[in-house]
Structure 1
Amino acid sequence: MNSTDASADDTLDLQLPEEFVALFRGEGNDRARVAGTRAREDLLDRLADWGPSVTPVGVFHLVPVEVERHGALIARWMNDPAVAAYWELTGPQSVTADHLRAQLAGDGRSIPCVGVLDGVPMSYWEIYRADLDPLARYCPVRPHDTGVHLLIGDAADRGRGIGTALIRTVADLVLAGRPACTRVLAEPDVRNRSSVAAFLGAGFRSAAEVDLPGKRAALMVRERAARGSR
């Protein structure tokens, strides 16, 4: 299915926040500088303060990445062949570090995080504003739609339902922490059947298939109305 086949219910004109628009007007005054500061702080509603959650698989906490602290571990995960097939960030640690720093140096529309389960870092997540992301060029988005990328770091944590449980938890965190957000989106590669199945198990629905640069993706959507359903 092409992205143009998505339900009309998913379509709404993109309305960028005033803070974001101001950054691209060439306003060289104090208002633009203040807008930039607010954007960095507010685009994802202080994710760092969302706190831990009790899940069926343990206590889970999204911790914003610190490159010096987490870079080597994330680079190791990126070089796992099962991960590399979809993330394409293999190579020396500097490859991963550059990917992380590009987000950390941005305006706050994407925040890289380590997923810590019972005190142990075991997954990598990117929480991002889908309405401010290039994804919006390829499929319908709504204001404040929030996207999720993830990988489970070690093979021992895969195939046991842990990913499904944590995806559900993170979607709940997004919807609780971002009152203006009505949908959580994901776009796993259609070839990654285990990832697609995990999102379906976590309460997402498959809305369309979308041709993105480098992959054909399954557009997965979790509605606010589905929050808390099991």
Structure 2
Amino acid sequence: MTFAWRRLTEADFPMIRGWLEEPLVKRWWNHETTPEAVQNDFGASARGEEPGQDWLALFEGEPFGLVQRSVYADYAEYLEPLSRLTEMPAGAISLDYLVASPEHRGKGLGVLMIQSMLAKTWIDAPAAPCVVIPIAAGNQRSWRALEKAGFRRVAEGDLEPDNPIDPPLHFVYRIDRPRLSF
């Protein structure tokens, strides 16, 4: 099974608003969904005005998921607290992701989406040594998807939660760039 990827555009914002309003997505992403808030949160990336990238995952031509990809060094507000929990090599990449609708969940698409973005990341960012992802400890679906995608848990500790209803405990997952063997 393969996925196509395309960068998020401002024309996608109404769809993103709907995704962010879906109860399970809303629970873990905790974004405001007004048109102004979506524009504020995703606009700079869609216009190429910031280093982070928002990617739509397409399955059979239809968008079903979103992956945000960035280099930690570009976002000190995330790098510094995470560095207290685990080693953060120069060039480490962050991914944040969601599967938008309930009908696409529970079928392994999230795991395959993560693996597909990893393969893309190793090509797009040849200097990146690893991908590091902190996950709220209570978001078992998400950290289990990372484990199935080949990530390993390397740390746990307190980080500011995305949703203020969550405790600060996070699990930190990492996968290193595959080494070529001849």
Q: TM-score range by the shorter chain?
A: 0.7 to 0.9
SS in 2 for 1:179: coil
Q: 2:131 aligns to what?
A: 184
Q: 1:62 aligns to what?
A: 5
Q: 2:16 aligns to what?
A: 74
Aligned with 2:30 (options 88, 112, 120): 88
1:171 matches 2:118 = yes
Bigger Rg, which one = 1
Structure 1 segment 1-230 matched on structure 2, within 5 A: 56=1, 59-67=2-10, 69-104=11-46, 108-133=50-75, 134-138=77-81, 139=83, 140-214=87-161, 215-225=168-178
Q: 2:164 aligns to what?
A: none
Q: Distance between the aligned counterparts of 1:205 and 1:226, measured in 2?
A: 16
Is the CA contact 1:186–1:220 (under 8 Å) kept in the aligned structure 2?
yes
SS in 2 for 1:172: helix
Is the CA contact 1:131–1:141 (under 8 Å) kept in the aligned structure 2?
no
- CA offset digits 1:32-89 (Å, max 9, x no partner): xxxxxxxxxxxxxxxxxxxxxxxx3xx312211111x100111101011111111111
2:19 partner amino acid: W
Is the CA contact 1:124–1:152 (under 8 Å) kept in the aligned structure 2?
yes
| 1:166 shift after superposition | 1.2
| 1:102 shift after superposition | 3.9
Is the CA contact 2:133–2:173 (under 8 Å) kept in the aligned structure 1?
yes
- CA offset digits 1:72-120 (Å, max 9, x no partner): 1111010111111111114323222210014346753211121111210
Q: Please, what TM-score do these two structures have when normalized by structure 2? A: 0.85
Is the CA contact 2:44–2:50 (under 8 Å) kept in the aligned structure 1?
no
Q: Distance between the aligned counterparts of 1:75 and 1:169, measured in 2?
A: 24
Q: Distance between the aligned counterparts of 1:107 and 1:208, measured in 2?
A: 32
| 1:125 shift after superposition | 1.2
Is the CA contact 1:131–1:142 (under 8 Å) kept in the aligned structure 2?
no
Is the CA contact 2:9–2:47 (under 8 Å) kept in the aligned structure 1?
no
Q: Distance between the aligned counterparts of 1:184 and 1:223, measured in 2?
A: 7
- CA gap 1:79/1:226 in 2 versus in 1, 3 angstroms: farther
Question: Percent identity of the aligned residues?
Answer: 18
Is the CA contact 1:171–1:222 (under 8 Å) kept in the aligned structure 2?
no
Q: Say how many residue pairs are matched.
A: 169
Q: Please, what TM-score do these two structures have when normalized by structure 1? A: 0.68
RMSD: 1.9
SS in 2 for 1:126: strand
1:66 partner amino acid: T
